[in-house]
Chains A and B, each alone.
Chain A
Amino acid sequence: MEARGSVVVVRTDGATLRTEVIRYSQAKNQVSSDRAFIFDEPTRHIEGEGFTSDPDFKVVTALRPKGTGGKFTLPNQ
């Protein structure tokens, strides 16, 4: 299965994934994209040039990602 053109994937926890192309391979049970993507969740913003993942997004491999890791407060604050 392949979706093209302003694809938006919304995870159950509200995180969103935006890309131009996304593919689902039933044989590999894998979701992937070879195009730029943007991943947003409340504490993180990641951009990359492609990714591969399982349908639950538990094992995700991103190509050349960059972004913001979120705010971190040291334990002794």
Chain B
Amino acid sequence: MMATMFLVVLAQRPTSPADTTGGRPCTVEIDSVRGKAQQVEVRTGETNVFAGGGVFAHCRGTGSSLQSDSVAWYAGVGRFDMIGQKNLVHIRDTAITLDAVTAAYFLRQERLEAHKNVVAVNRNSGSVLRGPNLTYYRALKGVRDTLEMYATGRPTIDYRGSADSAEPYVIVADRVRFKGNDRMWGGGAVTIDRSDFAARGDSMQLDQVVGFGLLVGKPRVEGKGTESYTLTGTRIELGLRGHDIRLVKALGDGVATGADWRLTADTIHLHIDRKKLQQAFAWGPKDSVRARAVSSNTTIRADSLALDVPDQVLTEVRAFGRALSTMKRDSTARRDSTADWITGDSLTARWAQQADPAGGAGGGARQPKSALHRVVSRGSARAFTHQYNQRDSLPSLNYSRGAMIDITLEGGKVRWVTVTGHADGVQLEPLPPAPPDTTKKKTPADTTKKKAPGP
């Protein structure tokens, strides 16, 4: 009497996940209607059906099933309503399981609308959507070639690229759209979180087919963990390989920050492997802000920069085009705080891992820290350095020019400066200490002050 109404929601998914236009017949078996069912023939060939008290049905020989407190089928408009006030409507097929308070299927549009306490699980990938509503468009030949889903009211999505992914990305947005199993868009205060990664933006796009992600509108990406990093820019693009993020790009006003460095440039690329930052590149057009890398004691500016940060530890910076590096001097340089600097067509600066003398307080283990130990300038190289020796308390000043200048540092101080190719320069030594003023001995001490007679 009433069984045909169930058919529309028990549609079988295709056997191949890639082909979303297929389907197969479903022979509906009503397991039970615990209350009453009524069919009303409103005109010849058009019968509406209503049932309540608990409706259970399944497709014969498959796992597709439906549970609902009440249902209504309106044949004229091809609409099937399911209501689950006491128990949620539960729809399960080979591709998705859906729970909601109410659901309505519009046969002619192949559209399912679910409202209130919606939980949809993609059985292929394990992704889960939770929110107040979901609209699901089935693939239909001649109508649409790929399934689509829309959700508003700030749903939360546990997004998995594949079912075996250990940890999902948790995506929250005011509204989201899915196309197929691997493309999605989010709008309105988007947040993306995972234990090793967090991203924010006004809008986002994710396309796992081409391995592309996009954040716009005050975007911000943050790598979490012991050696964290952040990246901001006008637009941030993500390069994906499978479910992992391998490349993060900031396009326009990029700022990247690591544990012991900060990178500023129009464009910044961060290369990530094993969930850790490995390399960074920064550059920009001529009329933009020049690329700049700043570590605790060193600032490097150039047309473009390349940073090696294996497993998020700074080891080397290469600077190209009007490169300039300035190095702060240690805190003992009180009388002359002028920084050391080195410039040239290109620069290479290398850091080494050293135990942090500030660490280990209370007997704890000392954390290694990157310390600059060598800077090499090539092409029209110039350098200004302060050099210390054991004889003088003040440093000597060295200004050198050459084809290449190689500076070696120890303990934050310049140890060696090697200039090669058309080398010249100037070395200014501090004044030697003044000889003892023997004339003072001949002058009797002025004892008058102490012995000044009183009034």
Of A48, A58, A71, A76, which is within 8 A of B41 by CB? A58
B6 touches A59 (CB 8 A): no
Decide yes or no: A68 and B25 within 8 Å by CB, A60-B39, A62-B36 being known contacts: no
Q: Smallest distance from the beta carbon of A58 to chain B beta carbons, Å?
A: 4
B38 touches A61 (CB 8 A): yes
Q: Smallest distance from the beta carbon of B403 to chain A beta carbons, Å?
A: 73
Contact of A1 with B by CB under 8 A: no
Q: Smallest distance from the beta carbon of B277 to chain A beta carbons, Å?
A: 47
Number of interface residues of A (CB under 8 A): 25
B32 touches A62 (CB 8 A): no
Decide yes or no: A72 and B40 within 8 Å by CB, A44-B3, A46-B3 being known contacts: no
What residue of chain B has the Cβ atom nearest to residue A47's Cβ? B30
- Stretch from B16-24, B354-362, B393-401 forming part of the interface with A: B16-24
Q: Smallest distance from the beta carbon of A50 to chain B beta carbons, Å?
A: 9
B1 touches A72 (CB 8 A): no
B3 touches A70 (CB 8 A): yes
B12 touches A70 (CB 8 A): no
What residue of chain B has the Cβ atom nearest to residue A75's Cβ? B140
Contact of B2 with A by CB under 8 A: yes
Q: Smallest distance from the beta carbon of B147 to chain A beta carbons, Å?
A: 12
CA distance A45 to B51 in the complex (A): 17
Contact of B335 with A by CB under 8 A: no
Q: Smallest distance from the beta carbon of B4 to chain A beta carbons, Å?
A: 5
Q: Which residues of B contact A64 (CB under 8 A)?
A: 32-36, 53
Q: Which residues of B contact A70 (CB under 8 A)?
A: 3-4, 7, 27-28
Give per-residue flags for A20-52: 1 if the beta carbon is below 8 A from chain B beta carbons, else 0: 000000000000000000010001101010000
Q: Which residues of A contact B23 (CB under 8 A)?
A: 74, 76-77
A69 touches B4 (CB 8 A): yes
Contact of A66 with B by CB under 8 A: yes
B12 touches A63 (CB 8 A): no
A-B contact pairs, 24 of them (CB 8 A): A44-B1, A44-B3, A46-B1, A58-B41, A59-B38, A59-B41, A60-B38, A62-B1, A62-B37, A66-B33, A67-B3, A68-B30, A69-B2, A69-B5, A69-B7, A69-B29, A70-B3, A70-B4, A70-B7, A74-B23, A74-B26, A75-B140, A75-B141, A76-B139
- Other 15 A-B pairs with CB < 8 A, given A65-B1, A66-B33, A67-B1: A43-B4, A46-B2, A46-B30, A59-B41, A64-B34, A68-B27, A68-B28, A68-B60, A69-B29, A71-B27, A72-B7, A72-B28, A74-B26, A76-B21, A76-B140
Residues of A within 8 A of B (CB): 39, 43-44, 46, 48, 58-77
